[in-house]
């Protein structure tokens, strides 16, 4: 039976470590890292995500600045807000909660953020830095996936990693991060032929698709580490809603060496890594080495 990778516990450890780093920065450098979160409109899921981000930022001892804007805000006004946050020395990280209303071009807004404050790691400059191996901000969910993999096996060198999904927020940046870890990386997607066979070659198998139970137990190489990024809400036979991943957990747990559950795997890691990026951003902006 596979080891269940406890993302909740690992995320809690990371948050505690960040709280210690923040305390050190306050005491020794008079620096309190600050994160600004911009939420436009009333998307209920976005509201929940933002609330959690605000709570966890504050719990880590950081400053949290919340900018709730009406869905009617114009693109120009949004860009003005980003300019204001870019210029604010108290703000070390800026996160614009996606999706944005249709009349606002998300790429334009993300790329208006000062790259060193882009704690989501979505700015084209940070994408480029990640791809060519320069220091920068990497996206939080892929960073969280790597942490989970390393909790199983600290050195990923030479592992065959297969990532199912090629989105800009998960699949592609995760591929770049795993190349840095010296993995041999394959990215699969909806046009991949014989997906099952591609997956069967993976020492590390990541599913970031958004299709409930797509990855079957028979696709998993015995002993592989399986990271399930998918979050899908499905209706059970009794009519209740429940969250499942992209991997058929019931099958895969009998084959994998280690596997993340949904919920409680990748999900809790994302905000923890967002906090980590904010502390890194604050240190970089002040020329302070990241505390241990
Ligand atoms: P996208 O919809 O942007 O990308 C999905 C990818 O999966 C695409 O590359 C698509 O291929 C591929 N795909 C779709 N169907 C298949 C298939 N049948 N076989 C193989 N590949 C397929 O999704 P995201 O990357 O944004 O998110 C993926 C999942 O991860 C979602 O469930 C999302 O909710 C979850 N998620 C979880 C996070 C967390 O914090 N835990 C954070 C972000 C996302 P193609 O490119 O060819 O269309």
**Following DSSP, what letter does each residue of 74-122 receive, concatenated?**
-HHHHHHHHHHHHH-TT--EEEEPSPPPTTS-HHHHHTTS-GGGBTT--
Give phi and psi for 268, each to the nearest 5: -65, -15
pLDDT at 202: 98
| Ligand 1 pocket residue status of 231, Cβ below 6 Å | yes
Residue 231, both tokens: 């979050």
Residue 70, both tokens: 């009406």
Beta partners for residue 227, in sequence order: 206
120 is catalytic: yes
Which of 210, 230, 261, 269 for a ligand 1 pocket mutation test, highest count of atoms within 8 Å of Cβ? Answer: 210
| Ligand 1 pocket residue status of 195, Cβ below 6 Å | yes
Residue 133, both tokens: 């191996």
pLDDT at 247: 98
Beta partners for residue 205, in sequence order: 162, 226
* Rounded Cα–Cα distance for residues 96 and 109 (Å): 8
* Rounded Cα–Cα distance for residues 84 and 140 (Å): 24
Q: Which of 56, 116, 118, 120 is catalytic?
A: 120
pLDDT, tens only, 3-39: 999 999 999 999 999 999 999 999 999 999 999 999 9
* Mean pLDDT of the chain, nearest integer: 97
Distance 82 CA to ligand 1 centre (A): 28
| Ligand 1 pocket residue status of 143, Cβ below 6 Å | no
Distance 164 CA to ligand 1 centre (A): 8
Q: How many CB atoms lie within 10 A of CB 45?
A: 9
155 is catalytic: no
- What's the rounded mean pLDDT across residues 141-158? 98
Distance 229 CA to ligand 1 centre (A): 8
- What's the rounded mean pLDDT across residues 119-127? 98
Which of 167, 188, 219, 248 for a ligand 1 pocket mutation test, highest count of atoms within 8 Å of Cβ? Answer: 167
- What's the rounded mean pLDDT across residues 186-207? 98
pLDDT, tens only, 260-288: 999 999 999 999 999 999 999 999 999 99
pLDDT at 136: 96
The rounded percent of the chain whose pLDDT value lies above 70 is 100
pLDDT at 190: 98
- What's the rounded mean pLDDT across residues 187-216? 98
| Ligand 1 pocket residue status of 193, Cβ below 6 Å | no
* Rounded Cα–Cα distance for residues 201 and 221 (Å): 7
- Among protein residues, the one with the nearest Cα to ligand 1's atom 40 is 267
Q: Using 50, 70 and 90 to split pLDDT, how confident is the model at 229?
A: very high
Report whether 195 contacts 165 (CB < 8 A).
no
97 is catalytic: yes
pLDDT at 107: 98
> What domains sit in the chain, N to C, each tagged with a CATH number?
30-115 (3.40.50.10860), 140-266 (3.40.50.720)
| Ligand 1 pocket residue status of 93, Cβ below 6 Å | no
pLDDT at 80: 98
Distance 208 CA to ligand 1 centre (A): 5
| Ligand 1 pocket residue status of 167, Cβ below 6 Å | yes
- The span from the first CA to the last CA of the chain, in angstroms, equals 35
CA distances (Å), origin 7, targets 258, 263, 265? 12, 9, 4
Residue with tokens 């909660």: 97
**Closest by CA position to 226, among listed 236, 211, 215, 212:** 215
**Closest by CA position to 231, among listed 186, 269, 198, 194:** 269
Report whether 244 contacts 237 (CB < 8 A).
no
| Ligand 1 pocket residue status of 187, Cβ below 6 Å | no
Report whether 236 contacts 242 (CB < 8 A).
yes
Q: Using 50, 70 and 90 to split pLDDT, how confident is the model at 164?
A: very high
Q: Which of 53, 117, 172, 221 is catalytic?
A: 53
Q: Using 50, 70 and 90 to split pLDDT, how confident is the model at 51?
A: very high
- What's the rounded mean pLDDT across residues 65-85? 98
Least confident of 168-172, 176-180, 234-238: 234-238
């Amino acid at each position: 039976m596979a080891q269940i990778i406890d993302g909740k516990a690992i995320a809690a450890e990371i948050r505690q470590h960040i709280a210690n780093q923040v305390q050190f920065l306050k005491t020794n450098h008079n620096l309190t890292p600050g994160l600004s979160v911009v939420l436009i409109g009333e998307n209920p899921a976005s509201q929940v995500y933002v609330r959690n981000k605000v709570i966890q930022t504050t719990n880590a001892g950081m400053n949290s600045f919340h900018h709730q804007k009406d869905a009617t805000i114009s693109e120009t006004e949004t860009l003005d807000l980003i300019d204001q946050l870019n210029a604010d020395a108290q703000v070390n990280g800026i996160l614009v909660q996606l999706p944005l209303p249709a009349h606002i071009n998300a790429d334009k807004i993300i790329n208006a953020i000062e790259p060193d404050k882009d704690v989501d790691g979505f700015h084209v400059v940070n994408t480029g830095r990640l791809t060519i191996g320069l220091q920068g901000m990497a996206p939080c969910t892929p960073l969280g996936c790597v942490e989970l993999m390393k909790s199983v096996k600290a050195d990923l060198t030479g592992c065959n990693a297969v990532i199912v999904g090629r989105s800009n927020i998960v699949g592609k940046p995760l591929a770049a991060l795993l190349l840095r870890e010296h993995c041999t990386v394959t990215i699969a997607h909806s046009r991949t032929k014989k997906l099952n066979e591609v997956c069967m070659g993976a020492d590390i198998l990541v599913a970031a698709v958004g299709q409930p139970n797509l990855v079957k137990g028979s696709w998993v190489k015995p002993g592989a580490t399986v990271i399930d990024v998918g979050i899908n809400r499905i209706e059970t036979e009794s009519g209740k809603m429940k969250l499942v991943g992209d991997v058929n957990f019931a099958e895969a747990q009998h084959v994998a060496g280690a596997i993340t559950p949904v919920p409680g795997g990748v999900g809790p890691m994302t905000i923890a890594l967002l906090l980590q990026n904010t502390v890194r951003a604050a240190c970089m902006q002040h020329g302070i080495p990241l505390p241990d």
